[in-house]
């Protein structure tokens, strides 16, 4: 029997596994730092899938669940989750000027709608 170790994607969704945040406040700050014009009316843009920035990628779903993060598969290849959380905090703080408390950074996975 074969076991698939990667994500399976189809036309209706995009799978993701990221180190990041689900805090709406910090997602808005990250989006603005990435150059996206973003306010409460723009949350609908994320409801259909993903938007890739230079540092972080933004994911949304039809269930109004939002995450902004960096691909965890590469980050976790060299770090524990605890160290990856600290790495993410330093990365977005240094590159984007967004300070996110460690308690609002975690490992997130799921599917974002894609249309």
4 inside domain: no
11 inside domain: no
3-class DSSP assignment, residue 103: helix
Domain count, the chain: 1
28 inside domain: yes
92 inside domain: yes
51 inside domain: yes
Candidate ranges 42-46, 60-64, 74-78, 83-87; pick with highest mean pLDDT: 83-87
46 inside domain: yes
- What are residue 69's DSSP bridge partners? 20, 57
pLDDT given at position 85: 95
pLDDT given at position 16: 85
Section 97-103 average pLDDT: 97
Greater confidence (53 vs 92) lies with: 92
pLDDT given at position 4: 46
- Give tens-digit pLDDT for 8-17: 544 566 788 9
Greater confidence (19 vs 73) lies with: 19
> DSSP characters for 18-57?
EEEE--HHHHHHHHHHTT----GGGHHHHTTSEEE-SS-E
Percentage of residues in the chain having pLDDT higher than 70: 72
Section 22-36 average pLDDT: 90
49 inside domain: yes
Distance CA 19, CA 109 (A): 9
- Give tens-digit pLDDT for 39-50: 666 665 555 578
Residue 36 has pLDDT above 70, yes or no: yes
Domain carrying residue 68: 16-113
83 inside domain: yes
């Amino acid at each position: 029997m074969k076991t698939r170790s990667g994500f399976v994607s189809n036309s209706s969704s995009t799978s993701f596994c990221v180190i990041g945040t689900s805090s709406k406040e910090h997602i808005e700050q990250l989006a603005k730092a990435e150059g996206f014009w973003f306010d409460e009316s723009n949350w609908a843009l994320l409801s259909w899938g993903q938007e890739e920035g230079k540092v972080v990628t933004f994911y949304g779903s039809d269930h109004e669940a939002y995450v902004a993060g960096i691909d965890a598969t590469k980050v976790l290849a060299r770090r524990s989750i605890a160290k990856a959380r600290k790495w993410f905090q330093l990365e977005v703080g240094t590159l984007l000027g967004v300070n996110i408390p460690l308690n609002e950074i975690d490992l997130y996975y799921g599917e974002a709608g894609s249309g």
